[in-house]
Chain A
Amino acid sequence: MSYFRITLHRSAIGLPARTRGVLAALGLHKRSQTVYHPVEAQFAGMIMKVKELVKVEEVERKLDKWEVKAERRPDSGFYLEKMAPRMEDEGQKVGSRVLARLRGEDESQVVEGVRREGGGEVRV
């Protein structure tokens, strides 16, 4: 099933109430708003009434907000030929070691600027 993807491009300010009524019936209340309606004669007729104000495309399915956003996102301007090794894994290991030490599993108290005293931590 295909849909009309209708975007309100021009405002209907100052236009006849009939025109604004058609836009409201289509569910368009503000500029740049997009709605989807199935490809049927009744919706085509409504679009014909406001054809000067809207942009229309035929699409196969309704796109959700995130897909529309992804469409609008500009090209990043670069690409990676080869993925660099991620630092995350290393960082997590170090982090867990630090945590383990702080929990008291290891008695060496001073770890990368953090000293354990009593129940709390003191940064040095």
Chain B
Amino acid sequence: MFGAFRATNSLSGGLLWKIPWRLSPTQKYRQRQRLKAVDNVVETLSTALAKKGETLKSLERWKYEMPTEAEMLAKDKYTIFDRKEKKYRKGIHKLPKWTRVSQRLNPPGY
């Protein structure tokens, strides 16, 4: 039961990564900072282009579709829709590369 040769999941099964069920408060804080950073980049681009009187389709579309960090619900900041989960939601940290991809929208009603 104890010692170097105890049968734990990781020892008997090889690779086992455990992802905690919920985000820690610090992870949530950093997630908000990342969302704000992306908002800042979009804001910088749009003001810079607006000064020249230019516009960009992808930029306009982003601004039209995507809520900013302040507009987002906590539910959408920290969780994502998953049809296989109980209550259809799981932590956003289960999303591969979650700190480097934008995932802001979820199906309406879920």
Contacts and interface: CB of A to CB of B under 8 A. Distances in A.
B44 interface: yes
A58 B41 contact: no
A58 B48 contact: yes
Contacts of B38: 51-52
Nearest to B102: A52
Interface in A29-62: 39-41, 44-45, 47-48, 51-58
Contacts of B41: 47, 51, 54-56
A113 interface: no
Interface stretch (B10-18, B52-60, B68-76, B79-87): B52-60
Interface residues of A, number: 22
B67 to A, nearest CB: 15
A2 interface: yes
Given A51-B42, A55-B41, A44 B102 contact: no
A44 B45 contact: yes
Given A41-B49, A41-B56, A45-B56, A56 B97 contact: no
Contacts of A40: 54
Interface in A54-110: 54-58
A64 to B, nearest CB: 21
Contacts of B54: 40-41
B98 to A, nearest CB: 10
Contacts of B4: none
SS class of chain B's interface: helix, strand, loop or mixed? Answer: helix
Contacts of B97: 14-15
A115 to B, nearest CB: 69
A10 B62 CA distance: 21
A48 B44 CA distance: 11
A48 B100 contact: no
Contact of A10 (B40, B56, B99, B102): B99
Contacts of B101: 52
Contacts of A10: 99-100
A4 B48 contact: yes
A53 B59 CA distance: 16
